[in-house]
Amino acid sequence: GAGVSQSPSNKVTEKGKDVELRCDPISGHTALYWYRQSLGQGLEFLIYFQGNSAPDKSGLPSDRFSAERTGGSVSTLTIQRTQQEDSAVYLCASSSRAGGDVGGGELFFGEGSRLTVL
């Protein structure tokens, strides 16, 4: 597609349930990032993929969070046993440049998945 696509756009779940969020990056973009944005907070880095590998998972807040990427394309972020503090907008971004490269800061973001945990 023309841009980064994320689904669902909105998800309401009950505390303790598992959720999966999907990101379809721009075709040909090898770098993929997940960020989280909470009300009143800045963008918080979660994980970086280069191809199917994740050289930087340092931002995942707990072992309830995991992510994978297959075929160098679609990525899924999974949150197990959701908690109310997981409520946020989860944003995916992709880039044609590898993370950390000069020029690698021009990221293309999707519109996000808004997660509400009741």
Partner 1 sequence: EDQVTQSPEALRLQEGESSSLNCSYTVSGLRGLFWYRQDPGKGPEFLFTLYSAGEEKEKERLKATLTKKESFLHITAPKPEDSATYLCAYLSGYALNFGKGTSLLVTP
The residues that touch partner 1, with contacts defined as CB under 8 A, are 4, 33, 41-43, 45, 48, 50, 55-56, 58-59, 91, 93, 98-100, 102-112
Min dist. Cβ of residue 57 to partner 1 (A): 11
Two tokens at 99? 């993370």
Min dist. Cβ of residue 62 to partner 1 (A): 19
Nearer to partner 1, 59 or 72 (CB): 59
Min dist. Cβ of residue 15 to partner 1 (A): 25
Question: Is residue 63 a contact partner of residue 47, using CB atoms and an 8 Å limit?
Answer: no
Residues 43 and 27: their CA atoms lie apart, in Å, by: 24
Residues 87 and 10: their CA atoms lie apart, in Å, by: 11
